[in-house]
Amino acid sequence: MTARERTATTRRDTRETQISARVAIDGTGVAAISLPLPFFKHMVEAFIKYSGMDVTLDGAGDIEVDAHHLVEDVGLVLGAAVSEALGDRDGIRRFGEAHAPLDKSLVRCVVDYGRRPNVVYEMAPLHGRINDFDVEVIAEFVKGYAQAAGATIHVDCIRGDNLHHIAEAAFKALGLATRDAFQVIGGGVPSTKGTL
């Protein structure tokens, strides 16, 4: 892989949301996040911390209508920045997997950054509200991120009953699996086809 800086900046402005993100893949997990949804901000920070990326992200949107638009669009913008920063993905491991426990909660995440967006989201216990945040919309972040990043993401709640702990374990597992997938191991494009 050529020695290039794996960074990118993206922006999305719609009638519903205004979001910008800067991503440095080879960082130390530093997150500078500005979002008007405190619990969701906390979850994105957990993802960034364990992914090893450095991310600056600012977002605003019509949360008085619903959190859905902002949560989904944060996934789209962050995923687009990640995809651009990865470039042709030459030399990356591509696949990653992780389990993350948080007290009694345990979540597994398996990823493939092979430009085949897909999501299998088996998080049945994750429904209800934390403060005023509907945790079911977390699925929209994962879907938006996978679509824009060109990733297949499987996330499964193995056990748990505390909503905060289940959600946080999921974001940590996604971060850990992503860190694994982004490692540069050499060997050209990671595909038997010779291209992604």
| Alpha-carbon span 188 to 60, nearest angstrom | 39
- In the predicted model, what is the mean pLDDT of residues 149-178? 98
| Chain position carrying tokens 């997150």 | 31
Q: List CB contacts of 194: < 8 A, sequence separation 6 or more.
A: 188
- What is the residue type of 31? A
Question: Among 172, 130, 166, which Cα is nearest to 29's?
Answer: 172
pLDDT tens string 22-45: 999 999 999 999 999 999 999 999
Contact 67, 135 (CB under 8 A): no
Length of the chain: 196
pLDDT of residue 4: 74
In whole angstroms, what is the distance from residue 71 CA to residue 54 CA? 19
pLDDT of 114 > 50? The answer is yes
d(CA 35, CA 38): 7
pLDDT computed for residue 58 by the predictor:
98
Q: What predicted TM-score, i.e. pTM, was given to this entire model? A: 0.95
Please give the helix or strand (H or E) that residue 140 lies within, else none. Answer: helix 138-149
| Confidence band of 159 (pLDDT split at 50, 70, 90) | very high
How many angstroms from the chain centroid is the CA of residue 134? Answer: 18
pLDDT attached to residue 190: 66
Task: Report phi then psi at 116, rounded to 5.
Answer: -125, 85
**Residue 53 near residue 25 (C-beta atoms within 8 A):** yes
